[in-house]
Structure 1
């Protein structure tokens, strides 16, 4: 996480420099406040990544002497072919059609979407 921490620290420093420059040149309070909020968000992520890299062991990606065999293992677990995305699209369509047709159609769409999302996550976790 050392690379990510340096990257996010750079983002934070960039927004500080741009914010101060914008304050001195433009003076628009709205733009300055937005740049300061971006600085704060970048600082939150930078602080989290520095803290995480300090508290946890070094990852394989952080070592300089790593080769491809060190990163082998389970790449990912993917669900089998399913019609759940089609049912999910049907549920979203029913939710959107509920706006002009009536709330009963939206309720049906919400029920379909909720059931398919739950079943899709259950299928993915196994």
Structure 2
């Protein structure tokens, strides 16, 4: 994941430089905010990839001398079925609609969205590895 971390770090750096130059030359807060958000998203992905690389080390895909059999076996746990992604999607849709129609609807949507995300995160917290 080290290569991916550097790749997204480069993307984040590009958007940081672009946001700085765009904000300085144009004075447009909307475009600058969009570029800053793009920088933050690239930075978050880069940070995640670097943390995974430091926690788990090199993957077989990162080594030139690796065989196909080195990557065999179970990789991670993937839940078989869950209703929480649907709850999260409905909460995001209600919150986005609330941005247009009012704060009260946004807060309801945010509550549903938060419950869906927490449900996905903690659904299998007591699962035995």
What's the counterpart of residue 37 of structure 1? 37
Normalising to structure 2: TM-score of the pair? Answer: 0.51
Distance 2:65 2:21 in 1: 41
Name the CA distance, whole Å, in 2 between partners of 1:71 and 1:56. Answer: 14
Tell me how far 1:17 sits from its aligned partner. Answer: 1.1
* 2:56 paired with 1:56: yes
Aligned partner of 1:16 in structure 2 is 16
2:55 and 2:73 map into 1 onto residues whose CA distance is 24
- After superposition, the Cα gap between the structure-2 partners of 1:47 and 1:34, relative to the gap in structure 1 and judged at 3 Å, is same
Give the Å deviation of 1:57: 2.8
Q: By how many angstroms is 1:66 displaced?
A: 2.9
Gaps of 5+ in 1: 75-126
Deviations 1:87-124 (A, max 9, x none): xxxxxxxxxxxxxxxxxxxxxxxxxxxxxxxxxxxxxx
Could you tell me how far 1:14 is from its partner in structure 2?
Answer: 0.8
5 Å matches for 1:1-126?
1-68=1-68, 70-71=70-71
Quick one: distance in 2 between partners of 1:70 and 1:56? 15
Runs of 4+ in 1 over 4 A off after TM superposition: 67-74
Runs of 5+ in structure 2 lacking a partner? 75-129
SS at 1:40 equivalent: helix
**C-alpha deviation, 1:22, in angstroms:** 0.6
Query: RMSD over aligned Cα, in angstroms?
Result: 1.9
